[in-house]
């Protein structure tokens, strides 16, 4: 039992620091996810246009 680590900082301080870091990671990764899906929809990666119903003749051939 002599090899057990001994805490040298208050638990709450370390917990708050780690949570701030992990929340930053979470926010950045959610931002990248939203950006990735936005680019995928913009470039029609999910072929939504091809899978949706065809538009009416009038809407396709407007001048």
| Helical ranges in 1-63 per DSSP H | 11-42, 48-51, 57-60
Residue 18 has pLDDT above 70, yes or no: yes
CA–CA separation, 63 and 48 (whole Å): 24
* Total tally of structural domains belonging to the chain: 1
Domain that holds residue 53: 11-60
For the stretch 24-59, pLDDT in tens is 999 999 999 999 999 999 998 888 878 888 878 777
The dihedral through the CA atoms of 8, 14, 15, 21 has a sign that is: negative
Looking at the domain assignment, is residue 3 inside a domain?
Answer: no
Looking at the domain assignment, is residue 46 inside a domain?
Answer: yes
Looking at the domain assignment, is residue 1 inside a domain?
Answer: no
Looking at the domain assignment, is residue 4 inside a domain?
Answer: no
């Amino acid at each position: 039992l002599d090899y057990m680590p001994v805490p040298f900082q208050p638990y709450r301080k370390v917990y708050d620091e780690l949570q701030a870091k992990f929340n930053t990671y979470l926010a950045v990764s959610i931002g990248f996810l939203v950006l990735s899906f936005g680019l995928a929809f913009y470039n029609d990666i999910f072929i939504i246009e091809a899978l949706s119903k065809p538009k009416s003749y009038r809407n396709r051939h407007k001048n």
